[in-house]
Structure 1
Amino acid sequence: MSKRLLVEQKHTKAGIEFIKEGLEEFGIEKKQTIKTMLLVEEVLVKLREHAKDPDENICIILNKRFGRVYVNLSLRGEKFQFIYGHTIEEVLDQENDDLQSAQEKEEKIIRDVLLKANEERLRYKNKNNMNLVEITVQKNPHAMVLHTMLALIAAIVIGVLMKVFVPSGVNEALNNTIFTSISTMFLNALKMIVGPVVFFSIACCISQFGDLKEAGRIGGKIMGFYLLTTVLAILTATGVFELLKPGNPELAAKLAGDAAAVSVSDVSISIKDTIVGIIPANFVKPFLDSNMMQLIFLAVLIGIALEKIGEHSRLLKDIFEACNDLFLKITVMLVRFIPVATFCSIVSVVLKTGPDVLLSMLAMLGTFAVGIVAMITVYCILLGVIGRLNPIPFLKKYSPTMLQVFGMASSNAAIIVNMDACENKLGISKKIYSLSIPLGATVNMDGTCIYLVIFGMALARVFGVDINGGMMLSMFFSVFVLSVGAPGVPGAGLVCLSVLLTQLNVPLAGIGLVMGLDSLLGMMRAMSNSLGDVTASLIVAKSEKKLDMEKYMS
């Protein structure tokens, strides 16, 4: 939708009124309309000051495309410095000796300060002696989701076309050289900053608590809820499997020794080893290994110690806050590349998955999807019963973030987008989500529980392994421990599944059936894991009266 108007330079009020009426028609809030009109007034002054012909009309175009609303202003003239200085202080300190009166100087400073303060909303360029200014009124709130969805659809279409028309050797080369490489680079970039983000976020969060009893109470509630949802995820997955019973025994003969690609020798499901491994041998190794449990331990320890060092406390807190803001900013920059990473990941999945394996996986994949939907229902019930919250706003507001997490395929990599959703969409206090989200990305793996139970039992059925009551209890215990202490290695889901299959006496050849779609399964696991983390954050925030109900319900 677009509206256009030409106005004389001496009669810009008509143009401002045109913009006001157009924004009201587009459904823009009154407050945002007023801000835009103020910006338009100052921009028009700038354009008139540098106009080539005082009698030439100003062109005003009002646009609305895909939810984004913006105003274009253009007038012929020479190129000029549209925004002065790098900071507000530089704008205030500028010299205006060319102006005749103090009032003119004051008006220019106010104008430049206003433009500088709204620099992110303004774009200026001079093309063929035409000064052009674009003012963003409203960004598309679902732009990232839209781009990710388009990338997802394009990836599936292009992947299928390549599978059909391009030789397999070429596809393999393209996948290894381009698609897998880009996906790996993106995930490596996110993993690079996950450690610092988790460390500084939790350390800053703990240091904000004047009363350590409050921190202990909130942490206890978070961990208690995580343990509850883990148990519920195991029970839900078992119920879904018993209802649908995926796993065709005829597949056993078709499976070959793909399991050799998965090593289980370095994996332990010992509770003792998990607890002992929380405390690192040195300060640096947890950052190098991205060991989340050890990083959380260090962050909590330092957060508590920050309150006990007297006069140096304020200085260190400021440094930690600055580091936290720095790494969050880096993450925001990286997250913009999610659509590209999603495209490459999905194309890679399509190219690596053969039609026979894909058909064999459909029943198990469908059961897994039903399990995730069932767990979402459980979350909604918990929100209503324990949190006394309407789950509809939660599902509505968090759905776009779920798609982003799906594209990331990593609970750790999704920490930042989950924290952003907690604060800006759901109204959860920073005191809660700064602790619950990084902690949940490490110990709360509801999606992984569902994955292990359904695929473990389905593959047992494929190979004719009967799971009796004792084996069922043993499996539940193993799934519980594996979900908490899942190894931080590539293909962790497959590694955990191979441990479970070994315990159930299921041949590891069954791994070959899962390998082809593990990337897609990893995306679904990460999405479900993150959903549980945010649900817990909501319920704990409500119980601690640290939930902005107005923002949550808006």
Structure 2
Amino acid sequence: MEQKKTLLLSLSSLDEANEFVQEMLQNYKCPKSDSIRAQLFVEETIVYWLKEAKQNETFELSIKKRFKTITLTLNYRSEPKNPLTASELSEDQELEFSRIGQDILIGLSSVTYSYEKGNNISYTLKQKPLNPALTTAIAFVSAILCGLIFLAAAPALGKMFGTMILTPISSTFFGFLNAIVIPVLFFSAIGSIFNMDNLAQMKKIFRMLLTWTITIILVTSAVSLLVAQIFLLSEASTQTQNVSGDLWQQIGTMIFGIIPTNIIQPFLDGNTLQIMFLAVVSGVVMLTLNGRFPSITKIITESNLIFSTILDAVCALMPLVVFISILNMMVSGEGIALLGAFRLIMLILGSYLIINLILLASVAIIEKISPLAYLKTAAPFLLVAMSTASSSAAFASHTATALSKQKIRDSVVYFSIPVGVLFNKQDAIPLLILTSPFVGQIYGINFTIAEMIPVVVLCMILSVAVPPSPGMGAFIFTIVYNLLGIPLEGLALAVTIAIFMDYPATASNVMITNIGMLHTEHWLKKREESTKITV
């Protein structure tokens, strides 16, 4: 189903275009926040194209729906004019660059540009889904109740039901999930990179934010490993030789062999680092070519959309799979392990608390701001992030607070928030590191700290690849579980915990971005002051 509208390329068309978008998205029952961002997308694109447009030129606005994915596209027949690319500026103009690349949907990979029979810029969004935490909670509780009924009334029938029906279904699902992990990782990484082409204008700010991001990744990993060592790891490993192998050797091979000898082999071997290397190289090359090969851009864009849609479908089925897997765990006699999940949740929340206290300490030491004063200022956008489990939903509130109350310069704000949405997902690290040995213990597999350290290295890298959407990072567990030799059936419990942890983790990740902006502003002011003194 596709609706099209041809409009005059002028400011007078803004109201008509916004009315068309708003009406269509209301019919598709999209969230109001998505509708507002879609209208912003249309307005910014029209204003950008209008700068060099001839009189009485037109553009086409179309909205198309496939399953639950909606694509909003603008087409303008002229010479290539990419609204996602900021103009090149000199070093002293660097902080006054055009914000078009940031204002259009905060730089997320849901916005793509191609040139084929004119300029085509698209924004993909989705119908409002059911709350994943609510549906998962219902599935989780229902599975436990059904399992208790089986154990009380017909335990033998329950075991047979689990062996003959539940186990094959869950194994098939997790096998399929394992199959789509690699392409999702590859295409989402490329999509994130070639839509971030304004990094060239923000070299100084990017270097500061990168330093902050790497520092927090290291701190988060250290805290997670310490908590795991105290509460979850053992002195001796109980892995079988077939499963364990040499984890250090695996990680070493991945790191030192990061450059593949051919393009196909990394996908066959499931070598995550080589695949990420290929994705980075491909994304950088696409940025350099800047739309010269629109057919390749379109293939990448469509592939990213295809696998994102598949992943959406997988996540939509997750409550059903959680029900099947937890019920199977109950009828097979392993239900007692569920009681320990509350201990795991407390360990994860405790790790988040320690990390957040370190963040607040940095604010007190560097910015000379008390933690209570900072939390009072940041409360509006942190509450939005925690209640929605979406850093994108907190964009407007976060931007307004940073500009008006925290007095951070707009160039830092409009660059840091989209970059933070893409890369500041460090709280996925404790979730991965703590959940893996816990689930391993359910299957009688214990790990030592020597075996977990290389896994921590992998988790640090994988945290960057977690998609910035509620509940979408669960597929990352598959890579870690394959490395550790944990049965994929254990993903059900991990996914259940991950969905609920998404809420506090998102708020913490947004805090990391915000404090990074505060520190960047602080360092920029110090540099400016030192420059004035030198002059």
Normalised by the length of structure 2, the TM-score is 0.53
Asked if the contact 1:230/1:480 (under 8 Å) is kept, the reply is yes
1:399 has 2:386 as partner: yes
1:120 to 19, 24, 33: 24
Given the superposition, is the C-alpha separation of residues 320 and 433 from structure 1 closer, same or farther in structure 2, using an over 3 Å criterion? farther
Q: CA deviation at 1:217?
A: 3.8
Asked if the contact 1:349/1:520 (under 8 Å) is kept, the reply is yes
| Equivalent-residue separation in structure 1 for 2:296 and 2:142 (angstroms) | 48
What pairs with 1:339-418 in structure 2 (closer than 5 Å)?
Answer: 339-354=316-331, 356-360=333-337, 362-363=339-340, 365-386=341-362, 389-390=374-375, 392-393=379-380, 396-400=383-387, 402=389
Given the superposition, is the C-alpha separation of residues 480 and 194 from structure 1 closer, same or farther in structure 2, using an over 3 Å criterion? closer
What pairs with 1:249-268 in structure 2 (closer than 5 Å)?
Answer: 263-265=243-245, 267-268=247-248
Q: CA deviation at 1:491?
A: 5.4
Asked if the contact 1:122/1:135 (under 8 Å) is kept, the reply is yes
Equivalent position amino acid for 1:445 in 2: I
| Equivalent-residue separation in structure 1 for 2:386 and 2:136 (angstroms) | 17
| Equivalent-residue separation in structure 2 for 1:371 and 1:110 (angstroms) | 51
Given the superposition, is the C-alpha separation of residues 121 and 401 from structure 1 closer, same or farther in structure 2, using an over 3 Å criterion? closer
| Equivalent-residue separation in structure 1 for 2:394 and 2:325 (angstroms) | 31
Given the superposition, is the C-alpha separation of residues 424 and 294 from structure 1 closer, same or farther in structure 2, using an over 3 Å criterion? farther
Alignment correspondent of 1:446: 430
| Equivalent-residue separation in structure 2 for 1:527 and 1:543 (angstroms) | 30
1:279 has 2:240 as partner: no
Asked if the contact 1:207/1:306 (under 8 Å) is kept, the reply is no
Equivalent position amino acid for 1:118 in 2: Q
| Equivalent-residue separation in structure 1 for 2:397 and 2:141 (angstroms) | 30
Q: For the pair shown, which has the larger CA radius of gyration, 1 or 2? A: 1
Q: CA deviation at 1:298?
A: 3.8
Structure 1: runs of 5 or more not aligned: 1-82, 94-108, 124-133, 403-417, 499-510, 547-554
Alignment correspondent of 1:210: 201
Normalised by the length of structure 1, the TM-score is 0.52
Given the superposition, is the C-alpha separation of residues 221 and 481 from structure 1 closer, same or farther in structure 2, using an over 3 Å criterion? same
Asked if the contact 1:280/1:294 (under 8 Å) is kept, the reply is yes
Alignment correspondent of 1:199: 190
Structure 2: runs of 5 or more not aligned: 36-126, 364-368, 403-412, 464-474, 523-535
Q: CA deviation at 1:111?
A: 11
Alignment correspondent of 1:78: none
1:156 to 141, 157, 163: 141
What pairs with 1:42-53 in structure 2 (closer than 5 Å)?
Answer: none
Equivalent position amino acid for 2:354 in 1: V
Asked if the contact 1:449/1:480 (under 8 Å) is kept, the reply is yes
Given the superposition, is the C-alpha separation of residues 136 and 371 from structure 1 closer, same or farther in structure 2, using an over 3 Å criterion? closer
Give CA deviations for 1:382-402 in whole Å, capped at 9, x if unaligned. 443335752644653333555
SS in 2 for 1:229: helix
Asked if the contact 2:193/2:280 (under 8 Å) is kept, the reply is yes
| Equivalent-residue separation in structure 2 for 1:545 and 1:333 (angstroms) | 40
Give CA deviations for 1:336-355 in whole Å, capped at 9, x if unaligned. 76343222223322223457
Equivalent position amino acid for 1:161 in 2: C
Deviation larger for 270-279 or 343-352:
270-279
| Equivalent-residue separation in structure 1 for 2:396 and 2:320 (angstroms) | 27
Equivalent position amino acid for 1:278 in 2: I
Asked if the contact 1:159/1:351 (under 8 Å) is kept, the reply is no
Q: CA deviation at 1:205?
A: 1.9
Asked if the contact 2:191/2:301 (under 8 Å) is kept, the reply is yes
Given the superposition, is the C-alpha separation of residues 138 and 337 from structure 1 closer, same or farther in structure 2, using an over 3 Å criterion? farther
RMSD of Structure 2 on Structure 1 (CA)? 5.5
Deviation larger for 371-380 or 174-183:
174-183
| Equivalent-residue separation in structure 2 for 1:350 and 1:536 (angstroms) | 38
Asked if the contact 2:228/2:434 (under 8 Å) is kept, the reply is yes
Equivalent position amino acid for 2:200 in 1: F
SS in 2 for 1:88: strand
1:294 has 2:211 as partner: no
Q: CA deviation at 1:526?
A: 7.7
Report the number of matched residues.
383
